[in-house]
Amino acid sequence: MENTVQQLRKHAGDTQAQLAAALGVSRQTVIAIERGRYDPSLGLALRIARHFDATVEEIFHDESGT
């Protein structure tokens, strides 16, 4: 699954560690999500969306574009 977490994080001026702390996950989890190596659970995806004041659909999208 593709996502815009890294772009949103950088735009907000957050480090990976700051985002991880805000979400209650490890920095390694943030890195894995940003690199597309880990698809977050629905709960975590919702926390990410709330953190960036966006919808899950605005942040996460299927690689096929659907």
Residue 33 to residue 5: CA distance in whole angstroms: 8
- What tens digit of pLDDT does each residue of 27-49 get? 999 999 999 999 999 999 999 99
- The answer, as to whether pTM is greater than 0.85, is yes
Helices (H), 1-66: 5-12, 16-23, 27-34, 42-51, 56-59
**All domains of the chain, ordered by start, with CATH?**
2-58 (1.10.260.40)
More confident of the two residues 4 and 65: 4
Residue 44 to residue 38: CA distance in whole angstroms: 11
